[in-house]
Amino acid sequence: MASMTPTDGILPARKWHELYHAAIIELDNARLPGRIAQARQAILDRAREILTISSRDEQYFLNDALRSLLLLEAVAEREKRAS
């Protein structure tokens, strides 16, 4: 039986946001890359889902979240190299 994650029961429109938020607030540098990867995948999955819906507001939030994750990833990588 597959194990469920805390986000499995979240509506698809909210799952990406929950994973994004978890990445943004993650303080453990060892867990941060995994959180970023999960959030990025959920955002991209949701972006594909809404292509046919044409939800401009959500498209804006998805793009903004992806940009923020890229910045967070760059900062984490820079800190990793500095330590």
pLDDT of 6 > 60? The answer is: no
- What residue numbers bound the domain in which 67 lies? 12-82
Query: What digits encode the pLDDT tens for the residues 11-68?
Result: 667 899 999 999 999 999 999 999 999 999 999 998 888 776 666 778 888 889 999 9
Is residue 4 situated within a structural domain? Answer: no
Task: Supply the DSSP string of the chain, one letter for each residue.
Answer: -PPPPTTTTS-HHHHHHHHHHHHHH---TTTHHHHHHHHHHHHHHHHHHHTTTT-HHHHHHHHHHHHHHHHHHHHHHHHHHH-
17 domain-assigned: yes
In a domain, 48, yes or no: yes
Q: How many domains does the chain have?
A: 1
For residue 2, being part of any structural domain is answered with no
78, part of any domain:
yes
Q: pLDDT grade, residue 83 (50/70/90)?
A: confident
Q: Please answer whether residues 58 and 52 qualify as being in contact, where contact means their C-beta atoms are separated by less than 8 angstroms.
A: no
- pTM metric for this prediction: 0.63
Q: Residue 7: inside a domain, yes or no? A: no
Q: Note whether residue 45 is domain-resident.
A: yes
